[in-house]
Structures are given as C-alpha cells and as structure tokens.
C-alpha cells in the first residue's frame, strides 16, 4: 500500500469516526452480533446436557431464546426511555436489588455449588439477584455523581455515600459466598471512583483495601484456596481442583487454528463442567479454533471501544458516568471469564456476557447495552442526525416508485358531461 493510499484510508476512517451516529450504530451492530453468536453457541454447547436432562437437544437453547425475548422487550424500553425518566427509576431499582439479595438468606434462597446466590419462587426459572445488582449499582452511582457534579473535586463527596451503599451491596453478595460476582462489583465500584476523579493516592488506598478484603475471603474457604493454588498448573491435580481448567485447556488445544467444526466439540460430552455456562469460551475455541476465538475477542474489544467512546463524548453527565460504569462491568467480567478459561486466572464462576447460558445474566446485560445506545444519542449532533435520518426515510417511503400520490384535498369532480377534445 502506497503512502497516498494509507493517507486516504486513514482520512476515510477518521471521517467515519467523526460522524455523530458512529457510536450509536456501532453499539447496535456489535451487540446484535454478540447476541446472535451467543444463541448459536448456547445451542451448540448445551445440546448434550439438554438431551441428557430432558431428551431434547434444544431444551436449554429454547429456554435461552425465551430469556432473550424478555431481554429484548426490556431492552427496547431502555433504548427509548428518556434519561430523566430513567433517573427516576434508579432508586427503586437499587431497592429492588437489595430486597432480592436479602431474600436469598430466607427459605426462598437456593444453593448452587456451595453459593446461596439464587432465588427459587417455585417456577421453572431461578433468579440470581446479584446480576440485577450490577446494573443497579452502576445506574445509582451514575445518578449520584451527576447530581453532585460540582462537588466531586472534594474526595469526600466522591466517596460518600457511594462507597458505604455500594460496599453494602457487595458484602451481601460476599455473604452469599459468591466471591466471583463480588469481585466484579468491587471492580465496578473502583471503576466508578476512577471515572469520578478520585485522587491517585486515595484511589490506591481503595484498590489495596479491596485487594486485602478479597484475599481475606479467599483464605476463609479451603475450596477457594485450592482454586487459587491450582490455576497455575491445573494438570498437577487434573482429577481434582484442576479438573475443569484442565479440560478447558484441552478443548482449546484441540481446536487449533480453525476448530473441529460447529457442534463438533468433544469436551461438551460430559468432560467439561459448565460447557454452556462459565466455560463456553473453551467450546468456542474447540469448535471454531483460534480464528473464532479471536473474532469473539475482537467483538468485545469493539464493544469496549464504543462504550468508552460514548462515555467520553456524551454531553449528559448521567449518561457519561453510566456508560463508563457499564463498560467497566462488561469488560471486567469478560476478562475474568476468558482469563480463567485460558488458565491465567483462577476458576471463580463468572459467565461470559451475552455468550454464556443464563437468563439472570442475559436480561440485565441486554438492558445495559440498550442503555449504551440510548446514551449514544446524547453525543454532539447525534439527536439531530437521527431526526434528519428519519425524515429522509419518511420521504423515501412516501415517494416509493409505483405508489400513486393523491392530493390531500382533491378538487371536486365537475358535474355533467366531460368535453373531450381530440387533436
């Protein structure tokens, strides 16, 4: 490529990125690709488990499709709701999350793999309140900081009441023994403190305090200690604490460059626990190879770019803080999940956003992405560009070829005979 071609290509890219609706269309496109790909991988990775449990390979995928319909309905509402009305809902949403978290300590609480972090209301679906709490913490903190915008130069206003309230939410999750989700919440809290401009020294203290607290809860559980000590070499205890991580790595190694083909995973036939939930990325690597895994990483990288772009360009302070918090939440969760599948982090039970099976995680995540699209409309010129686009589309519809245009007030027909002139 010549120098002039490179300059022309760079100018074209810069021109596209400077358009007011770039963030809006990019977040919709990337979210749609990840949601569609997630449904395909849930069907592929859950088919064996579904057949063993229900006699149909489509049972779990069908349930995920039902979750997706509900997620899209709530997402459509979040996509269109005015920001002022959305901010009215942040306190009720936080209160709902706290009530649901508290209910896990009652007889309604349901224990899965040693974590009492589910609610069973007697229906066919379980609810994980901590997933709702992630979205509630982000939106409540964004609303708080938007209201205190002029006071955030003082670190006291950055920390109070944000840290006590969100810390209480995180501690409820810790008491459920769900350390993985608690770490994501701690990361969200730290990310929001950073975005709000907490001074470096105070931020370092908060970071070290969070790390100390996490290590304290890790050493309080013998199972957590085994996970921490075995992730560096899962094959040292491949039949014990390193079983899941070892089989995840074997799946990735089997995939090589192009994979064994969609639906052809061997690890999902009972060897890999959580093949359709926490370790779905291992199935992606096995079936689609390194190329497919890199495509997934590229999509999440684009999502991170557009999320922080919206946070940087949004005019409304609430949209700016909320976009940053949502992006931190999804990227931290993605990094932890992929890191534990690759053997770079301990296995702590974190799903891959939009890809792993589970309605409790899917619905808040889709709503969060719809909110990102909503916030993108607050970028400079975005709202006006959208209105102009709708007007142009309306005119094209009105002047569609073959459509007869009739005047709104047609002239009355003359009564009597019509005189026809022949030339």
Residue among 408, 278, 266 at smallest CA distance from 350: 278
Report how far residue 141's alpha carbon sits from residue 144's, in angstroms, rounded to the nearest whole number.
Answer: 5
pLDDT surpassing 80 at residue 37: yes
Backbone angles phi, psi at 247, to 5 degrees: -70, -30
Report how far residue 78's alpha carbon sits from residue 75's, in angstroms, rounded to the nearest whole number.
Answer: 5
Residue 421 gets which letter from DSSP? -
Report how far residue 294's alpha carbon sits from residue 315's, in angstroms, rounded to the nearest whole number.
Answer: 34
Strand partners, 112: 115
Quote the pLDDT of residue 422: 38
Answer yes or no: are the C-beta atoms of 333 and 353 closer than 8 Å.
Answer: yes
Residue among 94, 298, 330 at smallest CA distance from 191: 330
Show contacts of 12-17: CB within 8 Å, 24+ apart.
none
Can you list the alpha helix ranges (DSSP code H) found in 81-221?
A: 83-88, 90-103, 129-147, 155-159, 162-175, 179-195, 200-219
Residue among 364, 361, 372 at smallest CA distance from 135: 364
Alpha-carbon dihedral sign for residues 28, 34, 37, 38? negative
Report how far residue 301's alpha carbon sits from residue 89's, in angstroms, rounded to the nearest whole number.
Answer: 30
Report how far residue 73's alpha carbon sits from residue 165's, in angstroms, rounded to the nearest whole number.
Answer: 30
Average pLDDT score over the chain: 88
Report how far residue 262's alpha carbon sits from residue 402's, in angstroms, rounded to the nearest whole number.
Answer: 45
134-168: per-residue pLDDT in tens? 999 999 999 999 999 999 999 999 999 999 999 99
pLDDT surpassing 90 at residue 172: yes
366-417: per-residue pLDDT in tens? 999 999 999 999 888 887 887 787 777 777 666 665 554 555 455 554 444 4
Quote the pLDDT of residue 230: 74
* 53 class by beta-carbon count within 10 Å (0-12 exposed, 13-18 middle, 19+ buried): exposed
Quote the pLDDT of residue 387: 79
Answer yes or no: are the C-beta atoms of 20 and 380 closer than 8 Å.
Answer: yes
Domain-by-domain residue ranges, the chain? Answer: 22-378
Going along 32-119, which residue ranges are E strands?
A: 109-112, 115-119
* 386 class by beta-carbon count within 10 Å (0-12 exposed, 13-18 middle, 19+ buried): middle
340-355: per-residue pLDDT in tens? 999 898 888 899 999 9
CA 403 to chain centre: 43
Strand partners, 115: 112
Percent of the chain with pLDDT over 90: 68
* 156 class by beta-carbon count within 10 Å (0-12 exposed, 13-18 middle, 19+ buried): exposed
Please tell me whether residue 314 adopts helix, strand or coil conformation. coil
Report how far residue 158's alpha carbon sits from residue 58's, in angstroms, rounded to the nearest whole number.
Answer: 48
Instruction: Work out whether strand 115-119 and strand 109-112 pair parallel, antiparallel, or are unpaired.
Output: antiparallel
**Helices and strands, counts by H and E, the chain:** 16, 2
Q: Which residue has the tokens 């946070």?
A: 311
42-95: per-residue pLDDT in tens? 999 999 999 999 999 999 999 999 999 999 999 999 999 999 999 999 999 999
Helix 200-219 to helix 179-195 angle (10° resolution) is: 180
Report how far residue 349's alpha carbon sits from residue 120's, in angstroms, rounded to the nearest whole number.
Answer: 20
Answer yes or no: are the C-beta atoms of 202 and 194 closer than 8 Å.
Answer: no
Strand partners, 221: none
Strand partners, 410: none
Quote the pLDDT of residue 227: 73
The angle subtended at Cα 354 by Cα 71 and Cα 73, nearest 5°, is 10
Residue among 340, 337, 361, 328 at smallest CA distance from 190: 328
């Amino acid at each position: 490529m010549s120098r002039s071609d490179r300059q022309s290509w760079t100018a074209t890219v810069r021109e596209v990125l400077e358009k007011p609706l770039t963030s809006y269309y990019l977040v919709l496109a990337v979210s749609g690709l990840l949601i569609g790909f997630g449904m395909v991988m849930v069907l592929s990775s859950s088919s064996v488990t579904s057949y063993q449990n229900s006699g149909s390979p489509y049972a779990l995928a069908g349930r995920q499709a039902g979750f997706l319909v509900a997620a899209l309905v709530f997402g459509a509402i979040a996509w269109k709701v005015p920001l002022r009305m959305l901010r009215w809902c942040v306190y009720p949403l936080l209160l709902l999350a706290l009530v649901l978290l508290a209910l896990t300590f009652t007889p309604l609480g349901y224990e899965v793999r040693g974590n009492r972090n589910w609610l069973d209301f007697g229906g066919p679906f379980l609810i994980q309140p901590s997933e709702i709490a992630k979205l509630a913490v982000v939106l409540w903190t964004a609303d708080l900081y938007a209201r205190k915008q002029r006071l955030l130069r003082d670190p006291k206003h950055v920390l109070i009441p944000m840290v006590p309230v969100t810390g209480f939410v995180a501690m409820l999750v810790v008491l459920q023994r769900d350390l993985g989700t608690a770490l994501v919440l701690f990361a969200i809290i730290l990310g929001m403190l950073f975005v709000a401009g907490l001074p470096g020294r105070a931020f370092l203290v908060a970071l070290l305090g969070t790390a100390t607290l996490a290590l304290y809860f890790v050493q309080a559980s013998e199972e957590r200690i085994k996970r921490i000590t075995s992730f560096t070499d899962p094959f040292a205890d491949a039949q014990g604490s390193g079983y899941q991580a070892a089989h995840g790595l074997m799946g990735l190694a089997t995939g090589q460059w192009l994979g064994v083909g969609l639906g052809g995973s061997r690890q999902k036939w009972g060897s890999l626990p959580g093949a359709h939930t926490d370790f779905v990325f291992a199935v992606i690597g096995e079936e689609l190879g390194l190329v497919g895994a890199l495509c997934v990483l590229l999509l999440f990288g684009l999502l991170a770019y557009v999320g922080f772009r919206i946070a940087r360009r949004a005019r409304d302070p609430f949209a700016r803080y909320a976009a940053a918090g949502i992006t931190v939440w999804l990227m931290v969760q993605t990094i932890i999940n992929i890191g534990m599948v690759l053997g770079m982090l301990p296995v702590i039970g974190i799903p891959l956003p939009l890809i792993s099976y589970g309605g409790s995680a899917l619905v808040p995540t889709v709503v969060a992405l719809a909110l990102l699209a909503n916030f993108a409309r607050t970028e400079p010129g975005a709202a006006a560009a959208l209105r102009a686009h709708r007007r142009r589309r309306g005119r094209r519809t009105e002047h569609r070829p073959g459509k007869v245009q009739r005047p709104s007030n047609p002239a009355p027909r003359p009564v009597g005979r019509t005189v026809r002139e022949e030339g």
